[in-house]
Structure 1
Amino acid sequence: MSDTAATREERFASGMAVLDAMHDASGHGVIESLADIAPELGHQIVAWGYGDILSRPGLDPQQRELVTLGLLTAMGGAEAQLEVHIAASLNVGLTPEQIIEVFLQSSVYCGFPRALNAVGAARRVFAEHGLLPLPEA
């Protein structure tokens, strides 16, 4: 390791600062839920995912969340993670209408079932945040 390489603890602290800035309790709950079974996975999500990747300067937090929403929608089967990132998207300043627009565009590339599942996840998060019903476009 070079003199400029961050320590394991520094990478985790850096990642936790990014996680704190983006997520509410749901994002932190994911890490906490791993403490008794896969603490190293939780550490890597914070240190590598947030500390090394999401902290990079190439995209702002809103752009990163737009990408994440599209990818999780395309993957399918990741609705729990999608809910966490829908909440994070709201936290970094995306509007509910922008989030729904991601799912509308996703329907063209990954199909209506995955877009519908994503909208269902959004419905749950928006309801928790008191954002329903959305105004008509």
Structure 2
Amino acid sequence: MPDAGRAALLRLSAALGTRHAGAIRAEMEVAREEADARAVEEVILQAHLFIGFPDALNALATWREVSGRPALAESEEDPAAWPARGERVCAEVYGANYGKLRENVRGLHPDVDGWMVTGGYGRVIGRPGLDLKTRELCIAALLAVWKVPRQLHSHLRGALNAGASVDEVDAAVEIARGFLEPDEAAEVGALWADIRAKW
């Protein structure tokens, strides 16, 4: 079972996938008390990769209200480091499937491959402020609620590749399932059961 801080981050990430303002605010109020504020901000920032800028901006505005905290200072990272960091982090998340992922995404559109690695993994998921295991567990919780099984499959495996135990992924899946209708929760549970059986 995750500790209270991680559980709060997982619930917030799942709530972001609902697009329900009341659910998001409620989970932010819990996270304000139970989780590190910087980690909360990282969960919201990384969510833009999945829910888009409009919902992420709205979530940040809500967090400013709920937390009473001003925005942190701008990151002083060097963007020139993002491509190499992105390749390293993406390879860690995808493990043995990394080469196949890159080939498949290039087949969809070569620019998206670069955006995924440099922007998604280098600029965002590889940022300091939250460990990769927790990031992947939060991403999986969001994607379960967002109802995108292909991407959920990848990030459930990604959480395991990033060092999460099966029990930690179990806990993240159960948190996400709590935000879903019973039939949707059953689909997520079945997908995870299949991955778990083959792990």
TM-score range, shorter chain: 0.7 to 0.9
Residues 67-88 of structure 1, C-alpha deviations (whole Å, 9 max, x = no match): 1011001101x11111111111
**Amino acid paired to 2:79:** A
Q: Which has the higher contact order (CA 8 A, sep 6+)?
A: 2
Q: Which runs of 5+ in 1 are unaligned?
A: 130-137
Greater CA deviation, 119-128 or 57-66? Answer: 119-128
DSSP-derived class of the 2:79 partner: coil
DSSP-derived class of the 2:106 partner: coil
Residues 43-74 of structure 1, C-alpha deviations (whole Å, 9 max, x = no match): 11111000000111111011101110110011
Change in CA separation of 1:100 and 1:45 when aligned onto 2, cut-off 3 Å: same
Q: Say if 1:26 and 1:84, in contact at 8 Å, map to a contact too.
A: no
Change in CA separation of 1:80 and 1:14 when aligned onto 2, cut-off 3 Å: same
Runs of 4+ in 1 over 4 A off after TM superposition: none
TM-score for both structures, normalised by structure 1 = 0.78
DSSP-derived class of the 1:35 partner: helix
Over the matched positions of the two proteins, sequence identity in percent amounts to 23
Q: Which runs of 5+ in 2 are unaligned?
A: 1-76
Cα distance between partner residues in 2 of 1:86 and 1:28: 18
**Deviation for aligned residue 1:38:** 0.6
Cα distance between partner residues in 1 of 2:85 and 2:196: 29
Task: Trace 1:15-34 onto structure 2 (pairs within 5 A).
Answer: 15-34=86-105
**Number of residue pairs the alignment of both structures matches:** 123
**Amino acid paired to 1:18:** V
1:52 aligns with 2:123: yes
**Amino acid paired to 2:182:** F
Cα distance between partner residues in 1 of 2:171 and 2:78: 40
Cα distance between partner residues in 1 of 2:91 and 2:113: 14
Q: Say if 1:103 and 1:115, in contact at 8 Å, map to a contact too.
A: no
**Deviation for aligned residue 1:124:** 2.4
**Deviation for aligned residue 1:92:** 1.6
Q: Say if 1:11 and 1:48, in contact at 8 Å, map to a contact too.
A: yes
**Amino acid paired to 1:106:** A
1:79 maps to 149
TM-score for both structures, normalised by structure 2 = 0.56
Cα distance between partner residues in 2 of 1:98 and 1:115: 18
The answer to which structure has the higher helix fraction is 2
1:69 aligns with 2:108: no
1:6 aligns with 2:79: yes
1:119 aligns with 2:192: no
